Amino acid sequence: MNKKDIPYQLLEAVQNTIGKMDELVIPVDDTQAYIHLKDLDESSKFYFRVLPNKNSLYPYDIHHFPKSKKEFNDDKREMIGIKSVVKYLERWLELIREYNFSNTIFDDGIVIGYQEDFFKDFEAVTFEIPQRAFSYEQQIQLIGYIDELIPLLMAFRDNPSYPGIVSQGKRLQETISERMKTDWLKSFALLLAKIFKMGSIPLLQKVYLVRKNELLNTILPTKD
Protein backbone atom coordinates (compact mmCIF):
# COMPACT_ATOMS: atom_id res chain seq x y z
CA MET A 1 0.00 0.00 0.00
CA ASN A 2 1.20 3.49 -0.83
CA LYS A 3 1.77 5.70 2.21
CA LYS A 4 -0.69 8.22 0.73
CA ASP A 5 -3.42 5.59 1.02
CA ILE A 6 -2.98 5.66 4.82
CA PRO A 7 -4.65 8.31 7.01
CA TYR A 8 -1.85 10.68 7.97
CA GLN A 9 -2.66 10.58 11.69
CA LEU A 10 -2.25 6.79 11.62
CA LEU A 11 0.87 6.90 9.43
CA GLU A 12 2.56 9.40 11.75
CA ALA A 13 1.57 7.55 14.93
CA VAL A 14 2.80 4.18 13.64
CA GLN A 15 6.10 5.59 12.38
CA ASN A 16 6.73 7.40 15.68
CA THR A 17 5.90 4.23 17.61
CA ILE A 18 8.23 2.05 15.56
CA GLY A 19 11.00 4.63 15.90
CA LYS A 20 14.24 3.01 17.04
CA MET A 21 12.70 -0.47 16.78
CA ASP A 22 12.35 -0.09 13.02
CA GLU A 23 14.97 -2.79 12.55
CA LEU A 24 12.60 -5.38 14.06
CA VAL A 25 9.91 -5.36 11.37
CA ILE A 26 9.24 -4.97 7.67
CA PRO A 27 6.07 -3.74 5.91
CA VAL A 28 3.95 -6.18 3.93
CA ASP A 29 1.99 -5.23 0.80
CA ASP A 30 -1.64 -5.69 1.83
CA THR A 31 -4.49 -4.15 -0.17
CA GLN A 32 -7.00 -4.73 2.65
CA ALA A 33 -5.03 -3.14 5.50
CA TYR A 34 -3.81 0.38 6.20
CA ILE A 35 -0.74 -1.06 7.92
CA HIS A 36 0.65 -4.58 7.79
CA LEU A 37 3.91 -5.31 9.57
CA LYS A 38 5.73 -8.60 10.06
CA ASP A 39 8.68 -9.71 12.09
CA LEU A 40 11.94 -9.25 10.13
CA ASP A 41 12.90 -12.81 11.09
CA GLU A 42 11.86 -14.78 8.01
CA SER A 43 11.02 -17.85 10.13
CA SER A 44 8.63 -15.91 12.40
CA LYS A 45 4.85 -15.81 12.07
CA PHE A 46 4.45 -12.59 14.09
CA TYR A 47 2.34 -9.94 12.35
CA PHE A 48 0.43 -6.74 13.10
CA ARG A 49 -2.35 -5.38 10.86
CA VAL A 50 -4.39 -2.20 11.11
CA LEU A 51 -7.57 -2.30 9.05
CA PRO A 52 -10.25 0.33 8.33
CA ASN A 53 -13.52 0.39 10.21
CA LYS A 54 -16.53 2.44 9.10
CA ASN A 55 -17.09 3.85 12.59
CA SER A 56 -16.10 7.53 12.41
CA LEU A 57 -15.08 7.84 16.09
CA TYR A 58 -13.18 4.56 16.33
CA PRO A 59 -12.08 3.97 12.74
CA TYR A 60 -9.60 1.08 13.13
CA ASP A 61 -9.55 -2.66 13.67
CA ILE A 62 -6.34 -4.45 14.58
CA HIS A 63 -5.31 -8.08 14.15
CA HIS A 64 -2.00 -9.25 15.55
CA PHE A 65 -0.06 -12.29 16.63
CA PRO A 66 0.92 -13.11 19.28
CA LYS A 67 -1.51 -11.49 21.66
CA SER A 68 0.85 -11.20 24.65
CA LYS A 69 3.55 -12.98 26.62
CA LYS A 70 0.93 -15.14 28.32
CA GLU A 71 -1.45 -15.72 25.43
CA PHE A 72 0.17 -17.18 22.31
CA ASN A 73 -2.75 -16.74 19.96
CA ASP A 74 -4.25 -14.19 17.56
CA ASP A 75 -5.87 -11.07 18.92
CA LYS A 76 -8.56 -8.99 17.24
CA ARG A 77 -9.80 -5.61 18.40
CA GLU A 78 -12.57 -3.81 16.57
CA MET A 79 -13.57 -0.14 16.56
CA ILE A 80 -10.58 1.35 18.35
CA GLY A 81 -8.97 4.78 18.17
CA ILE A 82 -5.45 5.89 17.39
CA LYS A 83 -4.26 5.75 21.02
CA SER A 84 -5.28 2.11 21.32
CA VAL A 85 -3.55 1.25 18.05
CA VAL A 86 -0.34 2.75 19.43
CA LYS A 87 -0.71 0.92 22.76
CA TYR A 88 -1.10 -2.51 21.17
CA LEU A 89 1.64 -1.86 18.62
CA GLU A 90 4.08 -0.87 21.38
CA ARG A 91 3.34 -4.09 23.25
CA TRP A 92 3.77 -6.18 20.10
CA LEU A 93 7.09 -4.55 19.18
CA GLU A 94 8.43 -4.93 22.71
CA LEU A 95 7.54 -8.63 22.65
CA ILE A 96 9.56 -9.10 19.44
CA ARG A 97 12.51 -7.27 21.01
CA GLU A 98 12.39 -9.50 24.09
CA TYR A 99 12.31 -12.62 21.94
CA ASN A 100 15.26 -11.35 19.89
CA PHE A 101 17.44 -10.60 22.90
CA SER A 102 16.72 -13.81 24.82
CA ASN A 103 19.31 -16.53 24.14
CA THR A 104 17.84 -20.02 24.33
CA ILE A 105 18.63 -23.53 23.15
CA PHE A 106 16.32 -22.86 20.19
CA ASP A 107 18.44 -20.03 18.80
CA ASP A 108 20.77 -20.49 15.87
CA GLY A 109 23.97 -20.96 17.83
CA ILE A 110 26.06 -20.68 14.68
CA VAL A 111 24.74 -17.21 13.83
CA ILE A 112 24.99 -16.06 17.45
CA GLY A 113 28.62 -17.23 17.61
CA TYR A 114 29.48 -15.42 14.38
CA GLN A 115 27.70 -12.29 15.61
CA GLU A 116 29.76 -12.30 18.82
CA ASP A 117 32.96 -12.70 16.80
CA PHE A 118 32.14 -9.79 14.50
CA PHE A 119 30.99 -7.61 17.40
CA LYS A 120 34.37 -8.04 19.11
CA ASP A 121 35.83 -5.93 16.32
CA PHE A 122 33.67 -3.04 17.51
CA GLU A 123 34.32 -3.28 21.26
CA ALA A 124 36.46 -0.14 21.30
CA VAL A 125 33.52 1.86 19.97
CA THR A 126 30.97 0.50 22.40
CA PHE A 127 33.32 0.70 25.39
CA GLU A 128 34.24 4.37 25.00
CA ILE A 129 30.91 6.00 24.17
CA PRO A 130 28.11 3.46 23.89
CA GLN A 131 25.27 5.98 24.19
CA ARG A 132 26.10 8.23 21.29
CA ALA A 133 24.95 8.27 17.69
CA PHE A 134 27.33 8.20 14.76
CA SER A 135 28.41 11.54 13.37
CA TYR A 136 26.91 12.70 10.09
CA GLU A 137 30.11 11.83 8.22
CA GLN A 138 30.24 8.36 9.78
CA GLN A 139 26.61 7.72 8.87
CA ILE A 140 27.26 8.64 5.23
CA GLN A 141 30.29 6.33 5.07
CA LEU A 142 28.51 3.38 6.69
CA ILE A 143 25.43 3.80 4.48
CA GLY A 144 27.78 3.78 1.49
CA TYR A 145 29.47 0.64 2.77
CA ILE A 146 26.14 -1.21 2.91
CA ASP A 147 25.31 0.17 -0.54
CA GLU A 148 28.39 -1.68 -1.82
CA LEU A 149 27.50 -4.85 0.07
CA ILE A 150 23.84 -5.36 -0.92
CA PRO A 151 24.29 -5.72 -4.73
CA LEU A 152 26.97 -8.36 -4.14
CA LEU A 153 24.41 -10.49 -2.29
CA MET A 154 22.50 -11.02 -5.55
CA ALA A 155 24.67 -14.08 -6.14
CA PHE A 156 22.76 -15.69 -3.24
CA ARG A 157 19.25 -14.58 -4.25
CA ASP A 158 18.02 -18.20 -4.35
CA ASN A 159 19.00 -18.73 -0.72
CA PRO A 160 15.94 -18.60 1.63
CA SER A 161 17.79 -16.16 3.90
CA TYR A 162 18.47 -13.66 1.10
CA PRO A 163 15.28 -11.49 1.34
CA GLY A 164 15.60 -11.06 5.10
CA ILE A 165 19.30 -10.20 4.89
CA VAL A 166 18.72 -7.56 2.22
CA SER A 167 15.82 -6.08 4.20
CA GLN A 168 17.96 -5.99 7.32
CA GLY A 169 20.74 -4.18 5.45
CA LYS A 170 18.32 -1.55 4.16
CA ARG A 171 16.85 -1.08 7.64
CA LEU A 172 20.32 -0.52 9.04
CA GLN A 173 20.78 2.27 6.52
CA GLU A 174 17.39 3.82 7.24
CA THR A 175 17.71 3.77 11.04
CA ILE A 176 21.38 4.72 11.54
CA SER A 177 20.53 8.35 12.33
CA GLU A 178 18.08 7.31 15.08
CA ARG A 179 20.08 4.66 16.92
CA MET A 180 22.97 4.61 19.37
CA LYS A 181 26.27 3.14 18.21
CA THR A 182 26.10 0.01 20.35
CA ASP A 183 22.59 -0.89 19.27
CA TRP A 184 23.31 -0.30 15.58
CA LEU A 185 26.61 -2.19 15.66
CA LYS A 186 24.98 -5.24 17.26
CA SER A 187 22.54 -5.35 14.36
CA PHE A 188 25.38 -4.79 11.88
CA ALA A 189 27.34 -7.68 13.43
CA LEU A 190 24.21 -9.85 13.11
CA LEU A 191 23.95 -8.92 9.42
CA LEU A 192 27.58 -9.96 8.83
CA ALA A 193 26.96 -13.19 10.76
CA LYS A 194 23.96 -14.12 8.59
CA ILE A 195 25.95 -13.40 5.43
CA PHE A 196 28.79 -15.56 6.72
CA LYS A 197 26.46 -18.45 7.51
CA MET A 198 24.80 -18.14 4.10
CA GLY A 199 28.13 -19.30 2.70
CA SER A 200 29.34 -16.04 1.23
CA ILE A 201 32.79 -16.21 2.78
CA PRO A 202 34.56 -14.88 -0.36
CA LEU A 203 32.16 -11.92 -0.33
CA LEU A 204 33.02 -11.07 3.26
CA GLN A 205 36.71 -11.44 2.52
CA LYS A 206 36.29 -8.91 -0.27
CA VAL A 207 34.13 -6.32 1.46
CA TYR A 208 34.86 -6.83 5.16
CA LEU A 209 38.11 -8.62 6.02
CA VAL A 210 40.18 -6.78 3.41
CA ARG A 211 38.64 -3.44 4.40
CA LYS A 212 38.26 -4.04 8.13
CA ASN A 213 40.87 -1.47 9.18
CA GLU A 214 39.32 1.14 6.91
CA LEU A 215 35.88 0.37 8.33
CA LEU A 216 37.09 0.49 11.93
CA ASN A 217 38.77 3.83 11.31
CA THR A 218 35.43 5.11 10.08
CA ILE A 219 33.44 4.06 13.13
CA LEU A 220 35.96 4.57 15.91
CA PRO A 221 35.13 7.72 17.92
CA THR A 222 37.05 10.85 17.15
CA LYS A 223 39.21 11.99 20.04
CA ASP A 224 38.49 15.52 21.24
C-alpha 36/C-alpha 63 separation (Å) is: 9
Q: Is the model's pLDDT at 83 over the cut of 90?
A: yes
C-alpha 52/C-alpha 34 separation (Å) is: 7
Query: Does residue 66 have a cis bond before it (omega within 30 degrees)?
Result: yes
C-alpha 189/C-alpha 6 separation (Å) is: 34
- Indicate the pTM of the whole model: 0.57
Q: Is the model's pLDDT at 219 over the cut of 70?
A: yes
Q: Is the model's pLDDT at 224 over the cut of 50?
A: no
- State residue 125's pLDDT score: 64
For residues 48, 92, 59, 15, the Cα torsion angle rounded to the nearest 10 degrees is -90
Provide mean pLDDT across the span 22-37. 87
User: Per-residue pLDDT tens for 48-58?
Assistant: 999 999 998 99
212 Rama class: left (phi>0) / alpha (psi -120 to 50) / beta: alpha
C-beta neighbour count of 96 within 10 angstroms: 21
C-beta neighbour count of 63 within 10 angstroms: 16
Closest CA to 59 of 47, 50, 68, 46: 50
